[in-house]
Amino acid sequence: MARDRAQARAVRPRKEAPHGLAFYPLHFLHMRRSPLSELLPPWSSRIRPYPPGKPIEEVERELGHPAIKLASNENPLGPSPRALEAIRNYLDRVHLYPDGNGYYLRKALSEYHELEMNQVILGAGSTDLIELVAKTFLTAGDEGITSQSSFYIYRTAIEEMGAGLTATPMRDFVLVLRTFSKVHGLAGLRIGYGMGHAELIESLNRIRSPFNANSLAQAAAVAALDDREHVARSIESNLKEMKFVTEELTLLGVRYTPSVANFLLIDTGRDCQEDFVRLLHEGVIVRPMRLYSFPTSVRVTVGTHRDNEQFLEALRRVVTAPIRAARI
């Protein structure tokens, strides 16, 4: 009887929530347990999590004034207007699970790239697909190969599987990855895709999570793919502003790596973390590149003309300031 009463107390709701819902006490969180390290695979302690760009809201809270974000290579013109309209039209269906096969988006992509549908796979951004490749082909004791100074997720995806890591000079890949985060302006929806031989895509689909591309992302991506006007405006803006920024950097005497993307690798010859903090205090968020073996460089997104002018003015003050430790 005593045990029955104890069990009854254990499942009794702590309090009644609105609409008849009940919250139950999470007793298991207070139970004695073995050290978590004993349950983890030995290689997990060697993995360094991917450091995302500092959110603009967090920086503005810390500084107490507006800031601009040029750290994560997002589209400064915002999302595709057609994508926004597609999202609004789909909102009343978000109670339903997404199409796990992504039929309409894969069909649109296959037609756009002149491929068969079985040569296209969807993912929650390219990071999801990189990790999927690692899960499909690697296991503990294998050796994963990636390129030096490439996207850091390649490294973590290999290490997550317990495989050894070999970094080589830049090389070709058999799976082509694309994203809707940049020119289409859909970074917050996390939607990307991969293209490869049908046999490779079939192998990846065996491991892929069934709903790794959400409904709103699929609807927005289909619309964005057809929004040629937004793509053209974004490309034109990037070309114009890239020319402006690089010319100003040359006049400033600051070295940079020529780019065909929407960002620049800028080498100030100074400690990149110090420059990152100084620019942060100026209200400009960039990406320090020590993690990618460029200890004196920062990565800067090409933004709007106003944002680029603010960055260049802040950079002028930073590169002429005495070199000293700075913290935030």
CA neighbor of 284 nearest in space, from 39, 65, 28, 47 = 65
Task: Tell me: do 286 and 158 sit in the same domain.
Answer: no
Q: What is the pTM of this model?
A: 0.82
Task: Tell me: do 219 and 271 sit in the same domain.
Answer: no
Examine residue 279 and state whether it is found in any structural domain, yes or no. Answer: yes
Give the pLDDT score at 323.
Answer: 65
Output the CA–CA distances (angstroms, integers) from residue 178 to 109, 125, 181, 226, in the order listed: 11, 8, 9, 16
Looking at the DSSP bridge assignments, the partners of residue 195 are 120, 176
Task: Tell me: do 119 and 68 sit in the same domain.
Answer: no
Q: Tell me: pLDDT of 36 over 80.
A: no
CA distance 84 to 86: 5
Report percent pLDDT > 70 for the chain: 87
Examine residue 19 and state whether it is found in any structural domain, yes or no. Answer: no
Task: Tell me: do 200 and 249 sit in the same domain.
Answer: no
CA distance 203 to 100: 16
DSSP-derived secondary structure for 66-125: --EE-SS---TT-S-HHHHHHHHHHGGGTTSPP-TT-HHHHHHHHHHHT--GGGEEEESH
Examine residue 14 and state whether it is found in any structural domain, yes or no. Answer: no
More confident position, 36 or 22 = 36
Task: Tell me: do 120 and 208 sit in the same domain.
Answer: yes
More confident position, 37 or 6 = 37
With cut-offs at 50, 70 and 90, classify the pLDDT of residue 8: very low
Write out the residue range of the structural domain in which residue 270 sits. 56-75+230-319
Report the range of poorest mean pLDDT among 23-27, 140-144, 216-220, 309-313: 23-27
Report the range of poorest mean pLDDT among 29-38, 121-130, 240-249: 29-38
Task: Tell me: do 118 and 204 sit in the same domain.
Answer: yes
Mean pLDDT of 228-235: 97
Mean pLDDT of 108-122: 97
Q: Tell me: pLDDT of 77 over 80.
A: yes
CA neighbor of 323 nearest in space, from 265, 271, 267, 280 = 271
Task: Tell me: do 100 and 215 sit in the same domain.
Answer: yes
Give the pLDDT score at 306.
Answer: 97
Q: Tell me: pLDDT of 149 over 50.
A: yes
Final residue of a structural domain among 183, 200, 226: 226
CA neighbor of 43 nearest in space, from 167, 151, 168, 156 = 156
Length of the chain: 328
Mean pLDDT of 267-296: 95
Report the range of poorest mean pLDDT among 30-34, 132-136, 170-174, 322-326: 322-326
Neighbours of 146 (CB within 10 A): 21
Examine residue 130 and state whether it is found in any structural domain, yes or no. Answer: yes
Q: Tell me: pLDDT of 184 over 90.
A: yes
Task: Tell me: do 149 and 250 sit in the same domain.
Answer: no
Examine residue 95 and state whether it is found in any structural domain, yes or no. Answer: yes
Q: Tell me: pLDDT of 317 over 50.
A: yes
With cut-offs at 50, 70 and 90, classify the pLDDT of residue 6: very low
Examine residue 6 and state whether it is found in any structural domain, yes or no. Answer: no
Examine residue 191 and state whether it is found in any structural domain, yes or no. Answer: yes
CA distance 205 to 207: 5
Q: What is the CATH number of the domain that holds 71?
A: 3.90.1150.10
Give the pLDDT score at 301.
Answer: 97
Structure tokens at 299: 């990565």
With cut-offs at 50, 70 and 90, classify the pLDDT of residue 326: very low
Q: Tell me: pLDDT of 9 over 80.
A: no
Which residues, in sequence order, are CB contacts of 170 under 8 Å at separation 6+? 147, 148, 150
Q: First CA to last CA across the chain, in angstroms?
A: 60
- Condensed to tens digits (0 to 9), the pLDDT of residues 40-50 reads 888 888 888 87
Neighbours of 46 (CB within 10 A): 9
CA neighbor of 231 nearest in space, from 79, 100, 85, 42 = 79
User: How many Å is the maximal CA-CA distance in the chain?
Assistant: 85
Examine residue 164 and state whether it is found in any structural domain, yes or no. Answer: yes
The mean of the pLDDT values for the chain is 89
Count the domains in the chain: 2
Q: Pairing relation of β-strands 297-301 and 287-288? A: antiparallel
Task: Tell me: do 85 and 211 sit in the same domain.
Answer: yes
